[in-house]
Amino acid sequence: MKTIKVSVVTPDGPVYEADVEMVSTKAESGELGILAGHVPMVAPLQIGAVRLKNGDQTDFVAVNGGFLEVRPDQVTILAQSAEQANEIDLERAKLARERAEQRLNDQKRDNVDIRRAELALQRAVNRVNVSERNV
Ligand code: ATP
């Protein structure tokens, strides 16, 4: 099967680079599956998992939002932060999840803090799920 080159890049540098058969992820508009030869496009991404399939191997990357750019032979994902599944500190993500849940349970917070805590919770839950390959 034809492959497509994938790069996941953050402000700290590249997180993942490979040639894969299929890239699957969630754009703001819904689930995307990209194969070689896909029409060019740009889409904003949700906080979520990117699945990269090559033969019988699938790699998982946790992505904190950002943008996906597709060209026929190349997919580039630009995100504020991203981690490969095996680089995720599961304990850290679980602690971040706990902190965010506690903040959301604290009624005295204003709306800005609530939105911030919701996003922190989404990042933490995504990292836990990707670390456990539960995506
Ligand atoms: P925390 O509260 O644990 O710092 P966060 O969601 O606020 O989590 P980010 O601001 O998204 O963290 O990321 C800051 C940096 O730390 C990024 O380089 C990111 O890849 C890394 N990072 C965050 N959480 C983890 C984790 N659980 N395992 C590995 N790297 C992580």
Ligand 1 lined by 96 (C-beta under 6 Å): yes
Q: Where are the domains of the chain?
A: 4-85, 89-133
| pLDDT tens for each residue of 29-68 | 899 999 999 999 999 999 999 999 999 999 999 999 999 9
Query: Into which CATH architecture does domain 89-133 fall?
Result: Up-down Bundle (1.20)
| pLDDT tens for each residue of 77-86 | 999 999 999 9
Q: Distance (Å, rounded) from C-alpha 130 to C-alpha 134? A: 6
The residue whose CA has the least distance to atom 15 of ligand 1 is 81
Q: Whole-prediction pTM value?
A: 0.95
**In angstroms, how far is CA 36 from the centroid of its own chain?**
20
Topology (CATH) of 4-85? ATP Synthase; domain 1 (2.60.15)
Atom nearest to 83 CA in ligand 1: 20
| pLDDT tens for each residue of 80-116 | 999 999 999 999 999 999 999 999 988 676 776 899 9
